[in-house]
Amino acid sequence: MKQTTLGEARKLFGKPERVVWAVAKYQDNVSICPLGWKMNTSGSPPMMAISVAPPRFTHGLISKSGQCVLAWPGEDLAEATLLCGTKSGRDIDKFKEAKLTPLKGRHVDAPLVKECIANLECVVIGEMRSGDHTIFAIEILQAWVNENPKRVLCTVNDASGYDFLLQQGGYRFGVVKG
């Protein structure tokens, strides 16, 4: 074992990371924030946690509405993920710009995303600051799946087991070969 920086160490264990979109609505504002930082946190009740940076527009929408949808993009949504991750919902309508279709869920006001492979309707149960992000602990009320499933989008390295999709800036998207 040798000491190194966290950035160097993460090259060994940081990929693959599945991508999920946090979709939130408060009053007339709707936005989409792509995240790698999420985890399951409970089997019963079914819960997850997500980490969102406070400056993000979506952070305020989640915090004020107490709700979100977790929408899982497939391999056809790498470009949309990049757009939603690099523009702010303060400036653009992400559904419109990324050509996405909002669908009405059963339990929350935030929309499902028709083009995603699955959507989870969630309510916020707890909130904790962790450094420069907020951890939202959320309960999953309802799951929805696409009738035409695709492979889940990941951030990846250059291993041969991936089909590579798109690279820009620090992002490198791909999917595990099917």
Residues that bind its own copies (CB under 8 A): 1-6, 8-9, 12-13, 15-18, 20, 36-47, 49-51, 72, 103, 106, 112, 114, 117-120, 125-126, 128-133, 135, 137, 139-140, 142-147, 149, 151-152, 154, 159-163, 176-178
The nearest distance, CB 77 to its own copies, in angstroms, is 12
The least distance separating its own copies from the CB of residue 141, rounded to whole angstroms, comes to 10
Smallest gap from residue 29 Cβ to its own copies (A): 23
Tokens of 22: 């946090």
Of the pair 12, 169, the CB lying nearest its own copies is at 12
Q: Of 90 and 159, which has the nearer Cβ to its own copies? A: 159
The CA distance from 140 to 44, in Å, is: 10
For residue 173, give the nearest of 150, 151, 157, 149 by alpha carbon. Answer: 157
- Rounded Cα gap, residues 113 and 71, in angstroms: 6
Which of 37, 88 has the CB closer to its own copies?
37
How far are the Cα atoms of 45, 49, 110, 136 from residue 123, in angstroms, in the given order?
12, 11, 10, 10
The nearer residue to its own copies, 3 or 27, going by C-beta atoms, is 3
CB atoms within 10 A of CB 137: 16
